[in-house]
Amino acid sequence: MPNPAHAEPVEAPHKLRIDFVSDIVCPWCVIGLKSLEQALAELGEDVTPDWHFHPFELNPQMPPEGENSAEHIARKYGRPPEEGAAARSHIKQMGENLGFTFKGGPDSMIWNTFDCHRLLHWAEKAGKAHALKMALFEAHFTRAEPLNDAETLIRAAVSAGLDAEAAREVISSGRYADEVRATEHWWRDEQDITAVPAIIFNGKYAIMGGQPPATFVKVIKRIVSGEI
């Protein structure tokens, strides 16, 4: 398959290709995206972003019925309940600072996200992946809607400006499964991406994690100035 991170020739000095590798159930991916959006807003017309969103499943073996998020994190990372509560509180505060509402608690669920990524692959072709990514983040983290329900995904697609029946057909048909798996393989196994968000600028410069806006501003300024 073609290299999905291939940076096409930059047409203008300040055009910036952004490859954003993430998962829907990753709160730090929300923080990373909102923080990067804020940084780009601060930079204004100095930078023209060229967004590309790529799939990464934190839990590819997650069953369709999902799992309690607190129990999953405690088992996967060995964190005691009180540590999980402190982490949720910290993430909620960071989200509030960036204009995003996290409402998760100890009863929150975590889901298999493969269908989300198939839908995002379709949305990428229509130039709507950015909007759909945010809509899915809000469905999961703000409204606690089940990501294993096709109607949740269809509502998110519609809110992103996509056609409801076309979205339903993508979900029910299993379309783009091979493409999503191939792209996941490329990022994980060929590019050694093992955690998200992974944000790659112009196919060369990678930043990992939910960094603050000031960090993104600093790095982007260095890239577009040719300093790095």
Q: Identify the domain containing residue 200 by its residue range.
A: 15-65+114-224
Band of residue 77 on the pLDDT scale cut at 50, 70, 90: confident
Average pLDDT of the residues in 62-75: 91
Is residue 49 domain-resident?
A: yes
Tell me if 102 is assigned to some domain: no
Band (pLDDT 50/70/90 cuts) for residue 10 is very low
Percentage of the chain lying above the pLDDT 70 cut = 94
Assigned domain for 214 exists: yes
Q: How far is CA 192 from CA 156, 179, 180, in A?
A: 30, 19, 17
pLDDT tens for each residue of 84-118 = 788 889 999 999 999 999 998 888 999 999 999 99
Res 73 pLDDT > 90:
no
Question: Torsions phi, psi of 189, nearest 5?
Answer: -95, -30
Task: Round to whole Å and give the CA distance between 128 and 135.
Answer: 11
Within a domain: 80: no
Which pair of structure tokens corresponds to residue 95?
A: 């989200």
| Domain tally, the chain | 1
Whether 59 maps to a domain, the answer reads yes
Does the pLDDT at position 7 exceed 70?
no
Residue 84 domain-assigned?
no
CB 21 within 8 A of CB 199: yes
pLDDT at 4: 53
Burial of 48 (0-12, 13-18, 19+ CB in 10 A): middle
71 found inside a domain: no
Lowest mean pLDDT among 3-12, 26-35, 65-74: 3-12
Rounded Cα gap, residues 49 and 220, in angstroms = 10
Q: What is the DSSP string of 69-124?
A: HHHHHHHHH---HHHHHHHHHHHHHHHHHTT------TT-EE---HHHHHHHHHHH
Tell me the CATH number at 49: 3.40.30.10
| Residue 6 pLDDT greater than 70, yes or no | no
Indicate whether 139 pLDDT > 90.
Answer: yes
Average confidence score pLDDT of the chain = 93
Helix (H/G/I), strand (E/B), else coil: 50:
strand
User: What residues have CB less than 8 Å from 202, skipping those under 6 apart?
Assistant: 7, 10, 16, 17, 223
44 by Cβ neighbours in 10 Å (0-12 / 13-18 / 19+) ranks as exposed
Statement: residue 140 has pLDDT above 80: yes
- Lowest-pLDDT range of 68-72, 132-136, 137-141, 187-191: 68-72
Determine, yes or no, domain membership for 87: no
